[in-house]
């Protein structure tokens, strides 16, 4: 039985449809990613699955609890790490974890044992008595990962877990996410618009665009759909019709003066390609990436800008309009 199952899940905000008929299953113990540009519906999906928003229509079950009929059952089964910082920076790391355990009515002995375990897991034992306001951004994210695990959830939701972190901190967070999946044996649901993050972490992922799933599979299988090699040509007035006649060209996308081609045996055929393209300013050749997959399914590249507004901001904005 899947740990999460959604069936035609829809969420509308007035006339705007944020999530449009989402159906998917997440298996127990896997790291599952929701990948998409800003405003694609990733965070709104998580808000419904964690009972922070009710769906307009459709159904979803989390750990076999219905998100509308039994929200308390869902909440007892999950941990959440919000996109926005949510730990109390006037408390120490230890005090934040203790407070969380108390809110979940954990017995004192179990709570203390669990605090020790999660501090070791996220490598903060030596900083547990420091005020959180003195933590770096990466340390604070690790603390919030640990806090989300305090009550032994079966599922943990991570909304843009590495947003705003430096490259080294991002890689450290990746290590902790993989570690908690293996050692804590929890299912991990991640929203991200970072292609490298999705490729590195996810067993499977769904690419979401305009509230709909446009592709769902493992990163490896999704890249196989593109296949071959990818050639990007910066070019003015390309001869598209001549390029289409080349049997080694599988797919063509054009945007802002750049022609992106999926081709077979690029090294062998690039000379023939350049002979018919017209005047080329630059050439780039690489193996398929998830960005190429997104381009393949949507006809455009994912927008690498700051992520869509955090959950708290989105809830406040929605409620203020009601």
| Secondary structure (DSSP) of 211-261 | TEEEEEE-HHHHHHHH-SEEEEEEESS--HHHHHT-TTEEEEEEETTEEEE
> In which band, very low, low, confident or very high, does the pLDDT at 266 lie, cut at 50, 70 and 90?
confident
Q: For the domain covering 228-287, report its CATH number.
A: 3.30.70.920
CA 219, 222, 223: angle at the middle one, nearest 5? 85
> In which band, very low, low, confident or very high, does the pLDDT at 316 lie, cut at 50, 70 and 90?
very low
CATH 3.40.50.300 fits 4-222, yes or no: yes
User: Can you tell me the distance from the alpha carbon of 30 to that of 104, in angstroms, rounded to the nearest whole number?
Assistant: 25
| Cβ burial 265-296 (10 Å sphere, 16+ → b, else e) | ebeebbeebeeebbeeeeeeeeebbbbbbbbb
pLDDT at 240 over 70: yes
For range 269-296, the mean pLDDT:
86
**Per-residue confidence (pLDDT) for residue 213, from 0 to 100:** 95
pLDDT tens digits, residue range 201-226?
Answer: 999 999 998 899 999 999 999 988 88
For range 93-120, the mean pLDDT:
94
pLDDT at 1 over 80: no
Q: Which residue has the higher pLDDT, 308 or 77?
A: 77
**Per-residue confidence (pLDDT) for residue 304, from 0 to 100:** 46
Where do the domains of the chain lie?
4-222, 228-287
Question: What percentage of the chain has pLDDT greater than the value 90?
Answer: 48
């Amino acid at each position: 039985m899947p740990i999460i199952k959604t069936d035609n899940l829809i969420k509308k905000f007035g006339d705007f449809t944020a999530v449009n008929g989402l159906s998917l299953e997440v298996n127990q113990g896997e790291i599952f990613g929701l990948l998409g540009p800003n405003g694609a519906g990733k965070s709104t999906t998580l808000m419904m699955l964690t009972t922070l928003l009710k769906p307009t229509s459709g159904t979803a079950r989390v750990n076999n609890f219905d998100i509308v009929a039994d929200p308390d059952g869902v909440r007892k089964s999950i941990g959440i790490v919000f996109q926005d910082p949510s730990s109390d920076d006037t408390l120490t790391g230890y005090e934040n974890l203790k407070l969380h355990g108390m809110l979940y009515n954990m017995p004192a002995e179990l709570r203390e044992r669990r605090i020790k375990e999660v501090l070791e897991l996220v490598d903060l034992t030596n900083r547990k008595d420091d005020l959180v306001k003195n933590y770096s951004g990466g340390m604070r994210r690790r603390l919030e990962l640990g806090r989300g695990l305090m009550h032994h959830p079966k599922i943990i939701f991570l909304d843009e877990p590495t947003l705003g972190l430096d490259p080294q901190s991002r890689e450290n967070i990746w290590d902790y996410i993989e570690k908690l999946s293996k050692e804590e044996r929890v299912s991990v649901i991640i929203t991200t618009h970072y292609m490298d993050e999705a490729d590195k972490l996810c067993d499977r992922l769904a690419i979401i665009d305009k509230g709909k799933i446009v592709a769902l599979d493992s990163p490896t299988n999704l890249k196989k759909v593109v296949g071959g090699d990818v050639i990007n040509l910066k070019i003015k007035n390309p001869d598209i019709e001549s390029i289409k006649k080349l049997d080694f060209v599988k797919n063509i996308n054009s945007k802002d003066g750049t022609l992106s081609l999926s081709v077979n045996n690029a090294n062998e055929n690039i000379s023939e390609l350049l002979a018919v393209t017209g005047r080329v300013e630059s050439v780039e050749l690489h193996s398929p990436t998830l960005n190429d997959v997104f381009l393949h399914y949507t006809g455009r590249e994912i927008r690498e800008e700051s992520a869509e507004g955090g959950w708290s901001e989105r809830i406040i904005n929605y409620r203020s309009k009601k």
